Structures are given as structure tokens and as C-alpha cells.
A = this chain, B = another copy of it.
């Protein structure tokens, strides 16, 4: 197809497509004749992935390029692919790892994960991210919200087992990798949206039974 059709089918403007081509997020089309370049279904799929990463996943252009490089290297062991993809989706945060409160939160996360019996590398950046959130909640005197931790651990174990079962049951390794990325980026967006909706529901029910302490009314969804 020509770039105009690629644009209309993907819902992406021609200048944006040219930008993604220049930024090497999208591989070049096939030059046919002097002024004509052909694109195929692979380009359309890639363009949808780029838009989804940037618009829904709010991934930066630089990180999107890293993720796509991982997707494009299916001869690497799946393990290394995931590592690359995972690192691009985890931009380092501006944290002070020498702060005693942060170190305590980091140690608490490791204890939590060990007690749950999870097989996780002690150097996983997600442990740092969890420590960021825990130390922020403590510094702001919202320590009581950490009572949720055992419930989070319990429900996420159940969720993750099913997610991984779904992904590894796919035939092609490259589809597993793209699925892992899609499940991370869009699965998080979906879970976060559904969690807020569930909170609206829970506070609406509170409102009905006890208007004085309600968090939000049934029409109070935002």
C-alpha cells in the first residue's frame, strides 16, 4: 500500500509516519520506481504498536525504539529479549538509594517477596520501584495504606499465573515477547482504570450505607 493508505488505515498522519521512519521506529518501505514506496501489513501492525506504546503506554520515543528493537530480534533467547524490553519499559527514577528510609522500604519489599515465596532476582528494578512507592507513602504519613500489601501480593500472584499461562501457550516466541510488552503496557493501563472504577463502586456503596463518610457518590465518578 502507499503511505496515504497506511496513514488512513492506521489513523496516523503522514507527517507522523515520516517522523517514525526517520526515528527508525518504523522500517523503511520498499522503493518501487522513482517516486513510489510500498508498505505492507507488517508496517501497519508496527505502526499500531508504536501508536499504542506512545499514546496508551505513554512510552517515550527513545524507549519505544528500544522495545521495538527487542521485538525485532527473535533469534536472541526469549530471556534476553524480555530483559531488553523490560529495561526499556522501566526508565530509572530519580531516587536517592542512600536514603535510610528508602533502604528500609527496599528491605521490606524483599522480605515481603521472600515471605510470599516468589522466585525473584534480588536486583530486579521492580523491587526499587515498589520501594519508591512505599517510602513515598511513609514520608507522607499514609503508612496505613501499606496494610494493603498482603492483599496485593495475594491477588497479583493469582493474576500473574494466569497471564503467564496465556502468553507462553502461544506458538511463536516473537508473539510471546510482543504479548509480554502489550500485557505490561496495556495490562497496566487496564488494571489501573478498572481499579479506579472499582473504587468508585466501593465508595458509592459506602455513600448509600453511610453518607457522612462516603468517598464519592454514585454520580461522583471522575
Q: Give residues in A with beta carbon < 8 Å to B.
A: 11, 45, 48-49, 52, 55-56, 78-79, 82-83, 85-87, 90, 93-96, 99, 113, 118-121, 123-127, 129-130, 132-134, 136-137, 139-142, 144-145, 147-149, 151-153, 155-170, 176, 178-180, 182-184, 186-206, 213-222
A161–B183 Cα distance when bound, in Å, is 25
* B contact residues around A148 at 8 Å (CB): 159, 162-163, 166, 187
Give Cα A119 to B216, complex, Å: 11
Chain B nearest CB: distance from A78 CB in Å? Answer: 7
Does the CB pair B193–A121 fall under 8 Å? no
In the complex, the answer to whether B197 meets A130 with C-beta atoms within 8 Å is yes
Copies in the complex: 2
CB–CB B196/A140 < 8 A = no
Q: Which of these, B83, B157, B184, contacts A196 with CB under 8 Å?
A: B184
A20–B59 Cα distance when bound, in Å, is 26
* Contact of A202 with B79 in the complex, beta carbons under 8 Å: no
Is the CB–CB distance between A49 and B130 below 8 Å? no
14 contacts between A and B (CB under 8 A): A55-B93, A55-B132, A56-B132, A79-B220, A86-B222, A118-B197, A121-B221, A124-B222, A126-B197, A145-B187, A156-B194, A157-B202, A168-B203, A188-B195
For A129, the chain B residues whose CB sits under 8 A away are 189, 192-193
**Dominant SS among interface residues on chain A:** helix
Cα–Cα, bound, A119→B187 (Å) = 23
Q: Which residues of B contact A161 (CB under 8 A)?
A: 198, 202
- Please report the C-alpha to C-alpha distance between residue A85 and residue B152 in the assembled complex, in whole angstroms: 24
- Nearest first, the 7 A-B pairs at minimum CB distance are A86-B222, A160-B198, A121-B221, A124-B221, A118-B201, A52-B136, A119-B204
Q: Across the interface, which residues of B come within 8 angstroms of A162, CB to CB?
A: 148, 151
The residues of B that contact A202 with a CB separation of less than 8 Å are: 157, 160-161, 163-165
